Structure 1
Amino acid sequence: MNYFEHPFPPILDEQTRVLFLGSFPSIASFEQAFYYAHPRNAFWPILEEIFDVRLETNEAKKTFCLEKGIGLWDVIGSCERSNSSDTNLKNCIPNDFEKLLRDYPNIRALGFTGKKSHDLFVKYFKDLEIERVLLPSTSPAHAAMSKGKKEKIYKEFIDKFLTV
């Protein structure tokens, strides 16, 4: 088991209206210093399909998110683990969501990109008043649901909370 600190900052600004939350970056995300970096993770292909865009670089992904009012972060700020599996996270210390939501009051909803991120958030922040939606995991480990079905659920979330 090794101890890890979250390796990169959240992607958000004053215009962010929805915040997608994972649990903690995978090893591939650590290596690329960016969210959902595993080549088989469906997060970016799902957003590309919903918005009919192609996002080739991390910088393009970041710019796209900020332009659309989409934020990205993780529930856990530091933990112990020995691999990328969410089941392997130990001694977790959460990020400071009370401060984040005070600093960014335009955030209308949190979209959890998997059950572990949702469960960890509820464990540490069950009393925080904000809309929370559990979305299907985009991880390649969650292959039970088709990409098309995941796209439909993510589109419903985006349509509900990003429209004015």
Structure 2
Amino acid sequence: MASRAGKETSAPAGQRVVHPLEPIFDGKSRVLVLGTMPSPKSREVRFYYGNPQNRFWRVMAALWGEPVPASNDDRRDLCLRHHVALWDVLASCTIAGASDASIRDPVPNDVGRILSAAPIVRVFCTGGTATRLYQRLIEPACGVPCTGLPSTSPANARMRLDDLVVAYESLRRAADGE
């Protein structure tokens, strides 16, 4: 597109990314937590919320008064022990790095796969983009509304860890059957 100065500008560069991770869930999962799309660091370490600056695993550990899980196996175990299913809203999209704001051409994951296999009572989305994409692309098909939670990304620096833990308390209550 042309700018006012007549110079050519374009949308943010991005690459087509196909979601590489399997969902985490079992037949006892009560809540489904959905991010948007694994970041480059998460794809590199082959697990959700893999950027060490992301506070997701610190929040999850704090909710249940546990140590922060150190390995992917520990993270998977924490989720399953506490009846948390984990996946992402998107199966594929064009994205620049980890910038949710750059997402183009989103294709949703089939969350029906989890909803039909586990007794999910609540769906939570981490961050505004995940929430909006879920509401637009998935909720009309599955009929299950989601609760939006604040992003645990380092880009959401305005929220302190303690504030995130308070915001995620509804996830813990639903997972624990309260």
Same fold (TM over 0.5): yes
Structure 1 moving runs of 4+ over 3 Å = none
TM-score normalised over the length of structure 1 = 0.93
Give the one of 112, 115, 138 matched to 1:101: 115
- Paired residues of 1:24 and 1:75 also in contact (CA < 8 A): yes
CA RMSD of aligned residues (A): 1.4
The alpha-carbon deviation at position 81 of structure 1 amounts to: 1.6
2:8 alignment counterpart: none
- Paired residues of 1:27 and 1:83 also in contact (CA < 8 A): yes
1:16 alignment counterpart: 29
User: Which protein has the bigger helix share?
Assistant: 1
Alignment of 1:42-81 (within 5 A): 42-54=55-67, 55-81=69-95
Q: 2: distance between equivalents of 1:160 and 1:8? A: 25
Give the one of 126, 140, 157 matched to 2:139: 126
The alpha-carbon deviation at position 82 of structure 1 amounts to: 2.3
Letter in 2 for 1:100: I
The alpha-carbon deviation at position 40 of structure 1 amounts to: 0.8
Q: 1: distance between equivalents of 2:171 and 2:86? A: 15
- Paired residues of 2:31 and 2:171 also in contact (CA < 8 A): no
1:116 to 1:32, Cα distance in 2 relative to 1, 3 A: same
Structure 2's unaligned 5+ residue stretches are 1-13
Which protein shows a greater Rg? 2
Q: Deviations over 1:68-96 (max 9, x none)?
A: 10111000001112211101111111101
Letter in 1 for 2:41: A
Q: 2: distance between equivalents of 1:97 and 1:151? A: 25
1:87 alignment counterpart: 101
Q: 1: distance between equivalents of 2:63 and 2:113? A: 31
TM-score normalised over the length of structure 2 = 0.86
1:131 to 1:123, Cα distance in 2 relative to 1, 3 A: closer
The alpha-carbon deviation at position 22 of structure 1 amounts to: 0.2
The alpha-carbon deviation at position 161 of structure 1 amounts to: 4.3
Number of aligned residue pairs: 163
Q: 2: distance between equivalents of 1:95 and 1:136? A: 21
Q: 2: distance between equivalents of 1:116 and 1:46? A: 19
- Paired residues of 1:4 and 1:78 also in contact (CA < 8 A): yes
1:60 to 1:161, Cα distance in 2 relative to 1, 3 A: closer
Structure 1's unaligned 5+ residue stretches are none
Letter in 2 for 1:29: S
> Identity of counterpart residues, as a percentage?
31
Give the one of 28, 45, 69 matched to 1:32: 45
Q: 1: distance between equivalents of 2:64 and 2:94? A: 36
Give the one of 149, 161, 168 matched to 1:135: 149
